[in-house]
């Protein structure tokens, strides 16, 4: 891991297209500003981890299980 110290208002570059600026430091929190092309996806790590966990859980559901659930729902609607 590369560790870089920055003060409020200072920036760093991630490649030629992404600029990260320290906007504020308050208590134990740091507010960052990110300038990047719109096509670059930027997610907080915990959001990406939850997304990946949901995708992995969905892959474990067997198609027969889904059919069974749909059939039960149809019976419930009657």
Q: Is the pLDDT of residue 64 over 80?
A: no
Per-residue model confidence (pLDDT) at position 60: 80
pLDDT at 45: 95
Query: Are the C-beta atoms of 56 and 70 separated by less than 8 Å?
Result: no
pTM of the model: 0.65
pLDDT at 26: 95
Question: In terms of pLDDT, which residue wins out, 7 or 60?
Answer: 7
In degrees and rounded to multiples of 5, residue 65 shows phi and psi of -65, -40
Q: What is the pLDDT of residues 8-58, one digit of tens each?
A: 999 999 999 999 999 999 999 999 999 999 999 999 999 999 999 999 988
CA distance 23 to 10: 8
């Amino acid at each position: 891991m590369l560790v870089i110290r920055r003060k409020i208002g200072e920036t760093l570059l991630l490649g030629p297209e992404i600029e990260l600026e320290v906007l504020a430091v308050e208590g134990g929190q740091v507010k960052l500003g990110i300038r990047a092309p719109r096509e670059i996806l930027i997610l907080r790590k915990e959001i990406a981890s939850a997304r990946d966990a949901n995708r992995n859980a969905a892959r474990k559901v067997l198609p027969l299980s889904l059919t069974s659930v749909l059939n039960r729902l149809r019976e419930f609607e009657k």
